Amino acid sequence: MVLETERLFLRQLTPDDDAFILELLNEAGFLENIGDRQVRDLEGARRYVADGPAASYVQHGFGLWWVGLKDTAEPVGICGLIKRDALDHPDIGYAFLARFSGRGFASEAGAAVLDYGRRALGLARIVAITKPDNDGSIRVLEKIGLKFDGMVTLPDHGGESRYFVSDV
């Protein structure tokens, strides 16, 4: 386990999370707001974990983490830090299954990840990006203390994104 909140725990993703990852990456909200990762089967989901989050754990000491309910251990989403080549600072990222939306899980996990990045990893600046019209994500970022800092265009990211910053 990496983190624990009142209702959630966060841990590293493993190949055994393949069915959950397959479901999450193919939900309409993920496809619309984050993008199509071309994950269509369990093998693709395992490859996504290995090439993305698991590789990031080794290279950076952080990545996207599995988020589950403490009382049932049911997976609800992913949340963590990503180091993109096109950004100078790590950014907070998250995605939650639609059936768990509206319960504050993104804000709860996001606040914990932001605190962990500052306290445990010593990151002075953590940023975030979101599609300009992703109102739900914008509300989450503002709720956890990030401030809008302008628009950015990242390579292979589908146009302009809102750019948020958080400084200690």
Q: Is the pLDDT of residue 114 over 80?
A: yes
* Residue 155 pLDDT class (50, 70, 90 cuts): confident
Compute the distance between CA of residue 161 and CA of residue 139 in angstroms, rounded to an integer.
15
The mean pLDDT of 14-20, rounded to a whole number, is 98
- Tell me the chain's radius of gyration from C-alpha atoms: 15
| 26 backbone φψ class: left, alpha, beta (φ>0; ψ -120 to 50) | alpha
pLDDT in the model for residue 157: 76
Residue 155: how many other CB atoms lie within 10 Å: 7
User: Do 9 and 70 meet the contact criterion of CB atoms below 8 Å apart?
Assistant: yes
pTM, to two decimals: 0.96
Q: Is the pLDDT of residue 146 over 70?
A: yes
Token pair of 126 as six digits: 């953590």
Token pair of 71 as six digits: 């009382």
What's the count of helices (H) and strands (E) in the chain, helices before strands? 6, 8
Q: Is the pLDDT of residue 158 over 80?
A: no
pLDDT in the model for residue 57: 98
Alpha-helical segments (H) within the chain: 18-25, 28-33, 42-49, 55-60, 105-119, 135-143
The mean pLDDT of 86-98, rounded to a whole number, is 97
pLDDT in the model for residue 150: 97
pLDDT in the model for residue 159: 86
* Residue 167 pLDDT class (50, 70, 90 cuts): confident
pLDDT in the model for residue 11: 98
Look-up of token digits 């939306």: 101
User: Do 2 and 116 meet the contact criterion of CB atoms below 8 Å apart?
Assistant: yes
Average pLDDT value for the chain:
96
The mean pLDDT of 135-142, rounded to a whole number, is 97
Token pair of 33 as six digits: 């707001």
Compute the distance between CA of residue 39 and CA of residue 149 in angstroms, rounded to an integer.
32
pLDDT digits (tens, 9 = 90+) for 24-75: 999 999 999 999 999 999 999 999 999 999 999 999 999 999 999 999 999 9
DSSP 90: -
